[in-house]
Chains A and B, each alone.
Chain A
Amino acid sequence: MTRFPIYRYSLLTLCLLTLGSCELDETIYSSIYTEAFYKTAADSEKGLIAAYDPLGDMYSGPAATLIADFSDDQTYPRGVVGRNTLTLFTYDVNYTTQKSNSRTNESPQQIWVSGYDGIEKANWIIAKVPDAVMAETRKKQIIGEAYFLRAYYLWSLTKNFGDVPIKTNPSYSEADAIVGKSPKADVYKQIYSDLDMAFAAGLPSYPTVDKGRPSKEVVNALYAKAALYNEEWAKALEKAQAVITSGKYSLMPDVRNVYRYDQEDAARVENMWAFEVDPVSPGRSHQMTGLCGPPASGGPEYGKTTFGSMFAYMSFFRSFNPLDKRRQLLDTNYLDKSNKIVAQRNITPITTEGVLIKKYQDPLSTLNLIPNIPILRLADMYLIAAEAEARLNGPTAAAYGYINIVRKRAGLAYLATGLSKDAFIEAVLQERAWEFFAEGDRWYDLTRTGKYLTVIPKAVNSVYPTRNVQAKNKYFPIPQDELNANPKLEQNPDWK
C-alpha cells in the first residue's frame, strides 16, 4: 500500500508500458528458420549429411540386409526378438512381434521409415540448394548426391514393397505429406530420371571420391542393379558395362580381403559404395559383427562382443565347391578364447549344424565397429552384365566372360560351356548366391524371378523345419502405421 502520488503514477506508467509491449511473435534461438537455411556452402553440406543419415538408420539393424537375409535360403536367425517372423513369414501388417520386441530397426518398417526420411531430406536439397551461393562445381555435386540418394531410397522401397508413393517435393505443409502410391513402373522411371540427374552432376570417380559418397561410376552401378530388378536387360547391361569399362574399379585378388577389417580402404577398389562405420564415438554402427559371431563373445576372431544370433544353413555351406574361396567366409568351427577349437555341434545350442558367417569380423574394436557393409560391389556389375547379356542374347562368349571373372577370383574353374540360356541364367543366379550371401541380396533374386515359392520351402533345417512362404511374401506389407495416417494409401492387394 502506498500513499505517494509520484510513485503511484510511475507505477501506472510502468504497467501501461508492459501493456503496450504485447509482442507475441516467437523468437527462435537454437534453430534456424527453414527460409534462412540452405543459403551457403556450409548449409548445403550440413543439409546433405542429413540426407545420408537415414542410410545409417536402415543399416543399423541392419534392416537393409536382415529382412532379406532372414527370408532367404542362405542364412537364418536364432528365433528371438521377432527375427524368426521373417524366416517363418509370420509377420503381420503391423510388424507387431518385432515392434513389441523394440526391433523395428530390424524390420521392413525401418526401410519404409528411413526410405522416406531420406527422400524428404534429399528433396529439400534438390529444392533449395540450387539457390545457394557457393562454388558451382560443388553445388552441382551436392544436388547430384541428393538425386542419387533419392534414387537409392526409392529403389530400397520398391524392391521391398512394390508400388510405393513417389515424393519429389519437400513437405511444406501437412497436405503435402499425404501422398498416394504409384505403380512400380513409374517408380522405376523416377529412379532412372534421378540417376540421370546424378550422373550429369560431375561427381568425382574413385579414388578421388570421398569415402562414403557415391562416385560417378556408383551412379551407373545403382542404375544397372535397378534396371536388373526392373527386368530392363539392355539398360542393365549398358550401365554395368559402363562401370566395368570405366576401369576405375577392379576385383580384389583375394575375395576374403573384401571383408577383412584391416583391408577396408584397400577393398574400396571393389567395394564401390558401402554403409560406412568406424570405430569412433560418437559414430555410426551396425549389429552384423555381434549377430554373426559365436554366442557369449566366444570367438575373439569374430569380435569383442558377439551373440550367436545369425547362421548360414548347412545346405548352403554344402552347396559350395570346396575349392571356392568364398566358402572360407563361412565356418563350421571356431577358436575360443583359449585357442581351443569349438566343434560345429557346440557352436550354438539351437542346432548341431551351426555355420558361422565371417564377412563382418572385427577382432579389434571396443567401441563401434570397423567393417562397412557393402551396398554395391564391382562383382555385382560382372554378374549383372552376365545375366543381362544372357537374357538379351543368350549365353554368349561375352556372358561367359563376365561370370568367369567372378568364378576365377573365387578359385573356381570356368563355367561349363554349352549351357542353355536358362541353365546359364540359373548358373548366374547361383553365382550371385555364393558371392553375395549375408549382404542383403539373394532374397531379391528369388522374388524377382519368382523362384522364392519353390526354393524357400526346401530351405529348411532343424531350427526351421517348415517355412510356409506364400505369393504375398514377394513384397512386404506396407506398415499399418502408414496406412493409419495416410488416407490416400492402400495396402498391397495381397496383404489386404
Chain B
Amino acid sequence: MPYRPDGTLFPFGEQANGQYREVSNPLSFASVLNRTGIQRTLANVYADVNILKGLTYRASFNVDMQNRLQDIYSPRSIVNQSDLNDNSGSGSKINTNNLALLHESILTYAQAFAQRHTLKATAVFASQIENGNSNSINATGFPNDATRNEAVQLALTRTISSSRSSQRLDSYLARINYGFRDKYFLDLIARVDGSSKFGANHKYGLFPAISGAWRIIEEPFAKNLSWLSDLKLRASYGITGNAGGLNPYQSLATVSASGSDYNINHVFQTGINPSGIANPDLRWERSAQADIGLDISFLNNRVSVIVDAYQKTTKDLLYVKSLPLSSGYGTITGNFASLENKGLEFAVNARILDGPLKWSVSGNMTFNRNKVLSLDGGVTQERFITAYSLLKVGSPLGVFKTYVFDGINQTGETILPGYDGRLGGQKVKDINGDGTISSADQIITGNPNPKFIYGFSTNLSFKRFDLSAFVSGSQGNDIYNASRLSFEMPLGQRNQFKGLVDRWSATNPSNQYVSGFQAGRLPITNYVMEDGSYLRCKNVTLGYTLPRIKGIQQLRVYASANNLFTITKYSGFDPEVNTYAGSNTAIGIDNLVYPQARSILGGLQVTF
C-alpha cells in the first residue's frame, strides 16, 4: 500500500520493522523535484561582399547564450519517521550560464581559365569563444517541505560554490581546389588550429591534407561504355587534429579548494591544495588518415556504388591516464596513447522505378577494426577504464575483462577464496587453477566493437503519396549489461527481474540466479555479457500531399513512427546504448540508462 490510512504517502522503508528494509515506495520518487529550466538565445548575422570578380568575402557572427536553472528538492516526507534527522529535507539551486561566440571570415576566389582549368581558393579565419559561469547552493535540513528549495535560507546547513571558465579556439585555413578538364582534381588544404586548452608552447597545430580524384569516365576509352554513367577514383591523405572533450586549464599548475577539509577545534574547515600535476606538454591529438575510394554509377546514374578503404593512425591520443597513487594524485590528462583504425565502407544507391511509381533504395555497410598501438608511453600494457572495460595494447578499444561465470555455488561445494563467494552466490572460474580467485583469473570475455554496422533506406512515391523507411543495425558487438548486476542482486532495496522467482535455494539448486541472501554485489563476470547485435527500424513515414491551394506552395500531411521495432537477442531495454556516451574508450555498457523512446507522430507540413 503506497498510502497511509490518512491518505499521505508512506515514506521509504516505513513498512519495515525487520532487519532489512523493504522496497522504497516508488510513488515517493514522484514527489522528488528535479527540474531544469533553460533559456536559450541563438543569433547569427552574416554579410556577403563581392570584392572583385570571382572574389567574395563572407563574415558571419553567431551568438549562443544559454541560462539554466536547476531546481532540486527531496522532501522530508519521504524519510522514514525514525530516520528523520537534521539533514532531512534537502534542496539545491544550480545556476549556469554559458556564452558561445563564433566568428567566421571566409574569402573565396573562384575562376575558370581557358575552358579547361577551374580554380577555387578559399581562406578562412574562425574564432570561437566559450565562457561558462555557474553557482550553486545545496541546502539540507529544511524544517518544512512547504517552501521546497525556494527558500534555502530556512535550511539548517548550506554549502555554496561558484566557478567560471573560459576557452577559445582559433582556426586559419587555406584551401585550393583545382580541376583540369573536369577530369583531374586536386585539393590542397592547410589549416592551423589554436586552442587555449593546450600547453603554452603547444597551442597551435598544423594540419595539412591533400586529395586527388580522377574521373575515369571522362577518358575516351570509358566513354564508349554506355552502361557506365560515372566512374571516379579518389585518394586522399591528411592529418587532422582533435582537441576532444578536453577541459580547460589542464596544462596549468593551479591550486583550488577541491574538497579537502578537516575538523579543528570542533570547526569544519576547508583546505586549498594543488589541483593536479600540470601538463605543459598537453597538445593536439593528431590522426593521419589515408583513404582510397571508387565511385561507380551505372544505367544513367540509376545505380551508384561507392567503395572506400581507409587506414587511420592516431598519435598523441588525448587520454586521461592514471598516475602512481604514490604521487598523491589520481590522473593526468595528456597525449598518452596511439590507436589504429582501418576499415571498408560500401554504399549503394539505386533508383529502381522512375515512372509514376518512384522507388529508390540505398544501403551502406561499414567494417571498422581498431587496435590500441601503445598506452601510457609504454609504461603499461593494459588499463581498466571502468570496472570491466579495458584498454590493452594490441586489442580493440574498450574490450571487456571479467571473471568467467561458472554457475552457482552449490551445497557441499568448496568455495574458492578471493572473491567473497558464498553458498548460493555466483561461482567464477579459477582460470589459472591456483585454488584462489584473484585478478589473474580475469580474462577478456567480450568486445564492444561491432564486426560491421549497416543501414538501409527505401523511398516509395506514387502520385501524391510517399512512403519511406530507414533501418540500421550493428552486428557482432557485445554489451556489458551492468543493469542486471542491480536487477539480479537481491538486496531488498529495488525491484528485481522476474527470473529471481527461480532463485537458488537449498531445495532449488538453480545454476543461474543467486539466492536471496547475497546482501552484496555480484562479482564482475561475463554473466551479464550479451550479444548486442540488432536491427532497428529507425523511422517509417507515410505522407500525402494535398492538391495545391492558392497562396500555399505545398501542403502535406504525414504519419511517422520513430524507433518502430527492433530485432535483437539483447535482453536489456535498448541495444543502442552507452552509459558513457561521451567516452570513446568506455563503450558498450548498459548501466541503468534511459532507453530510447518509440514515438509515433502525425504532422502537417505547410510551405508558403
Interface string of B309-327 (1 = CB under 8 A from A): 0000000000001111111
Known: A19-B125, A53-B262. A296 touches B19 (CB 8 A): yes
From the candidates B165, B328, B439, name the one contacting A480 in the complex (CB within 8 A). B439
Closest residue on chain A to residue B266 by CB atoms: A278
Contact between A173 and B277, CB atoms less than 8 A apart: yes
Known: A55-B262, A281-B140, A489-B324. A96 touches B418 (CB 8 A): yes
B234 part of interface (Cβ distance < 8 Å): no
Interface string of A76-87 (1 = CB under 8 A from B): 000111101100
Known: A27-B166, A31-B275, A282-B268. A94 touches B438 (CB 8 A): yes
Contact between B326 and A50, CB atoms less than 8 A apart: no
Which candidate, A130-138, A206-214, A375-383, A424-432, is the interface stretch facing chain B? Answer: A206-214
Assembly CA distance A291 to B424 (angstroms): 25
From the candidates B84, B279, B324, B520, name the one contacting A485 in the complex (CB within 8 A). B324
From the candidates A31, A56, A482, name the one contacting B324 in the complex (CB within 8 A). A482
Known: A30-B163, A31-B249, A284-B263. A81 touches B520 (CB 8 A): yes
Assembly CA distance A247 to B164 (angstroms): 53
Residues of A within 8 A of B524 (CB): 100
Smallest CB–CB gap between B409 and chain A, Å?
A: 14
Contact between B264 and A211, CB atoms less than 8 A apart: yes
Closest residue on chain B to residue A118 by CB atoms: B328
Contact between B271 and A53, CB atoms less than 8 A apart: yes
Closest residue on chain B to residue A25 by CB atoms: B196
Smallest CB–CB gap between A255 and chain B, Å?
A: 24
Contact between A32 and B254, CB atoms less than 8 A apart: yes
Closest residue on chain A to residue B381 by CB atoms: A484
Contact between B520 and A22, CB atoms less than 8 A apart: no
From the candidates A8, A176, A283, name the one contacting B263 in the complex (CB within 8 A). A283
Which candidate, A119-127, A233-241, A317-325, A410-418, is the interface stretch facing chain B? Answer: A119-127
Contact between A24 and B170, CB atoms less than 8 A apart: yes
Known: A11-B59, A26-B197, A53-B261. A367 touches B203 (CB 8 A): no
B274 part of interface (Cβ distance < 8 Å): yes
Contact between A52 and B324, CB atoms less than 8 A apart: no
Chain B: how many interface residues by the 8 Å CB criterion?
94
Residues of A within 8 A of B163 (CB): 29-30
Question: Which chain A residues (453-487) contact chain B, with CB distance < 8 Å?
Answer: 479-482, 484-487
Contact between B249 and A28, CB atoms less than 8 A apart: yes
Residues of A within 8 A of B420 (CB): 79, 81-82, 84-85, 97, 101
Residues of B within 8 A of A492 (CB): none
Known: A30-B165, A32-B255. A481 touches B264 (CB 8 A): no
Assembly CA distance A213 to B262 (angstroms): 11
Closest residue on chain A to residue B19 by CB atoms: A296
Residues of B within 8 A of A116 (CB): 325-328
B329 part of interface (Cβ distance < 8 Å): yes
Residues of B within 8 A of A489 (CB): 324, 326
Smallest CB–CB gap between A355 and chain B, Å?
A: 19
A335 part of interface (Cβ distance < 8 Å): no
Smallest CB–CB gap between A460 and chain B, Å?
A: 15
Contact between B254 and A31, CB atoms less than 8 A apart: yes
Interface string of B499-536 (1 = CB under 8 A from A): 00000000000000000000111011000000000000
A51 part of interface (Cβ distance < 8 Å): yes
Contact between A1 and B47, CB atoms less than 8 A apart: yes
Interface string of B145-178 (1 = CB under 8 A from A): 0000000000011010011111110100000000
Residues of A within 8 A of B429 (CB): none
7 new A-B contacts at CB < 8 Å, known A24-B168, A34-B278, A282-B157: A24-B204, A26-B251, A26-B252, A35-B253, A80-B520, A90-B418, A177-B324
Question: What are 8 A-B residue pairs whose CB atoms fall within 8 Å in the complex?
Answer: A26-B196, A49-B260, A92-B438, A97-B418, A177-B326, A366-B87, A485-B325, A485-B379
Those 6 A-B pairs whose CB atoms lie nearest each other, nearest first:
A120-B328, A50-B271, A366-B85, A49-B271, A177-B327, A50-B273
